[in-house]
Chains A and B, each alone.
Chain A
């Protein structure tokens, strides 16, 4: 294990010796002692992992030394040990960002020991979080996140690339299931903000009476049940990206509050007065046409112009040509990997069936379709019959494609048979055709029940 380097800045040799000896009992620690602030500053290039400073040094106060350390390194944990028992000194130091404050008494060495353990743990956790964020960023590399090669998708890539280079707000539109949240995450994790939070909020999923405190936070006692101060999603996303999904579902009163937050670049928690400065990138998404919503009086025009930024329209899957097959293979491989199955291939007839479908639920629907097909298939190849249309809007498929009248007849009768539990008499009645027509088609295996 690499040594944990601790600087002790203490002008009293006796006390410094005691602290050094005590901390040295941990073999992981490498202690270096300095007797003045200047000596400590001159040696910061040695990159200590932690600095413990005495408040009363001969050449500067602990506070002054702390400020000088911060000016060169804003991450280095600093503990101040002081005989100053005034609470205000401790509060000021902690407010200024000192990691811990310890009063000099009989327990100091033990308190210091414990404080260092806690700081190391926090440091380890911080490193792990940073590493995970890095991995997450790699996971959200464009080519890994958004699968496909169609010209429609390539246009989207170009816009995403532009979005990552600046801090511009981004508005994403597209049908349900086209991957709006995935695109917004990919923009965040490929931008300079990737080390900070990505916070997603679905405006349609939060009850109206809670949404203001969810977004902007609240102070303790702001309303019944507000038992403690809670930062809102905007604060959580500070330094990073906030993604407001289904923005068109926001009511007009909240729209004006959001507009103010975006204009002022600061937020005030519900029931509070303190203004919290914000540095965020806003990404919004909706499946609705926002311009139409403005025209219909459902969306504020000033907010529209504030959030529209760089518009990215995600193409529906039916307009992405062969991407359907690329995605289908990708989902089949993922399913096999996750379930420790041998790799799955897709038969030509199954491919034709997929290509002939218009996917009203887009990528989300395709994934669920492939997952089910992977479960239903016997062997290692997905067949046409393994693929079933699970969409609530599957019937719309019939009129979306160019087919012969005979093919249309076959599809319509199959749909009705499915709908009425294979009750041939009922289907014949509903479609106003003879039941013998249906039986004949069944006999000739044109349709199946």
Chain B
């Protein structure tokens, strides 16, 4: 199945898998299951002003965004992490979190197992 390269690029994951498609598919379903949940937690942490938790959640999401080749969120997730590390609200945060929620939602909808 052709992947939507504008949204994600499984090249890095496939390089790690070294030809093991079962592993790639396992990671895809793990992402589809986890990433929306983590994004929801990020949103909630922001709303509650729990900066430390927000920082930790963004930090945790980083590797999967990188490995899934979601280039449009690569900088954004890092920005969320570093802004949260300041321990106060930042005006950029709502837009960044919204973008993250939207893109991840699109990726999850588009993701298909590889053959």
Say yes or no for A104: interface residue by CB 8 A criterion: yes
A296 to B97, CA, bound (A): 87
- Size category of the binding interface on chain B: 10 to 19
Encode B2-31 as 1/0 by CB contact (under 8 A) with A.
000000000000001110100100110011
Say yes or no for B64: interface residue by CB 8 A criterion: yes
> Which residue of A11, A18, A56, A104 contacts B27 across the interface (Cβ within 8 Å)?
A18
Chain A's closest residue to B66 (CB) is A106
Whether A18 contacts B59 by the Cβ 8 Å rule is no
A15 to B63, CA, bound (A): 7
A13 to B35, CA, bound (A): 11
Chain B's closest residue to A104 (CB) is B63
> Which residue of B16, B26, B31, B64 contacts A22 across the interface (Cβ within 8 Å)?
B16
Which B residues are in CB contact (< 8 Å) with A439?
Answer: none
Whether B63 contacts A13 by the Cβ 8 Å rule is no
Say yes or no for B56: interface residue by CB 8 A criterion: yes
Q: How many residues on A have C-beta within 8 angstroms of the other chain's C-beta atoms?
A: 15
Which A residues are in CB contact (< 8 Å) with B66?
Answer: 106
Whether A13 contacts B18 by the Cβ 8 Å rule is no
Encode B46-62 as 1/0 by CB contact (under 8 A) with A.
00000000001001101
Whether A17 contacts B26 by the Cβ 8 Å rule is yes
A56 to B31, CA, bound (A): 20
Say yes or no for A281: interface residue by CB 8 A criterion: no
Known: A21-B17, A109-B16. A14 touches B56 (CB 8 A): no
Whether A56 contacts B30 by the Cβ 8 Å rule is no
Closest CB-CB distance, A271 to chain B, in whole Å?
42
Chain B's closest residue to A106 (CB) is B66
A12 to B67, CA, bound (A): 14
Encode A4-25 as 1/0 by CB contact (under 8 A) with B.
0000000111110110011001
Chain B's closest residue to A21 (CB) is B23
Say yes or no for B106: interface residue by CB 8 A criterion: no
Which A residues are in CB contact (< 8 Å) with B60?
Answer: 11-12, 15
Which A residues are in CB contact (< 8 Å) with B62?
Answer: 83, 104
> Which residue of B17, B20, B30, B59 contacts A14 across the interface (Cβ within 8 Å)?
B30
Chain B's closest residue to A12 (CB) is B60
Interface hits, A96-146 → B, CB 8 Å: 104, 106, 109
Which B residues are in CB contact (< 8 Å) with A106?
Answer: 66
Say yes or no for B88: interface residue by CB 8 A criterion: no
A15 to B16, CA, bound (A): 12
Which B residues are in CB contact (< 8 Å) with A15?
Answer: 60, 63-64
B26, B31, B59 — which one has the most chain A CB atoms within 10 A of its CB?
A: B59
> Which residue of A11, A13, A18 contacts B16 across the interface (Cβ within 8 Å)?
A18
A106 to B23, CA, bound (A): 19
A56 to B62, CA, bound (A): 14
A15 to B67, CA, bound (A): 10
Whether B34 contacts A13 by the Cβ 8 Å rule is yes
B56, B59, B60, B63 — which one has the most chain A CB atoms within 10 A of its CB?
A: B63
Closest CB-CB distance, A249 to chain B, in whole Å?
63
Encode A356-385 as 1/0 by CB contact (under 8 A) with B.
000000000000000000000000000000
Which B residues are in CB contact (< 8 Å) with A18?
Answer: 16, 27, 63, 67
Interface hits, A66-84 → B, CB 8 Å: 83
Which B residues are in CB contact (< 8 Å) with A109?
Answer: 16
Which B residues are in CB contact (< 8 Å) with A14?
Answer: 27, 30-31, 34, 63-64, 67
Interface hits, B60-103 → A, CB 8 Å: 60, 62-64, 66-67
Known: A14-B30, A21-B23. A83 touches B59 (CB 8 A): yes
Which B residues are in CB contact (< 8 Å) with A22?
Answer: 16
Chain A's closest residue to B26 (CB) is A17
Whether B18 contacts A12 by the Cβ 8 Å rule is no
Chain B's closest residue to A84 (CB) is B59
Which B residues are in CB contact (< 8 Å) with A25?
Answer: 18
Which B residues are in CB contact (< 8 Å) with A56?
Answer: 56, 59
A15 to B13, CA, bound (A): 12
A316 to B46, CA, bound (A): 87
Which A residues are in CB contact (< 8 Å) with B31?
Answer: 14
Which B residues are in CB contact (< 8 Å) with A11?
Answer: 60
A106 to B16, CA, bound (A): 11
A223 to B18, CA, bound (A): 56
Chain B's closest residue to A14 (CB) is B64
Closest CB-CB distance, B104 to chain A, in whole Å?
13
7 residue pairs from A and B, CB less than 8 Å apart: A13-B30, A14-B30, A14-B31, A14-B67, A15-B60, A18-B67, A21-B16
Leading 8 A-B pairs by shortest Cβ distance:
A14-B64, A15-B63, A12-B60, A83-B59, A21-B23, A14-B30, A14-B34, A56-B56
List the interface of chain B (C-beta within 8 A of A). Answer: 16-18, 20, 23, 26-27, 30-31, 34, 56, 59-60, 62-64, 66-67
Given A14-B30, A15-B64, A21-B16, 14 further pairs, Cβ under 8 A: A12-B60, A12-B63, A13-B30, A14-B31, A14-B64, A17-B30, A18-B27, A18-B63, A21-B20, A25-B18, A56-B56, A83-B62, A106-B66, A109-B16
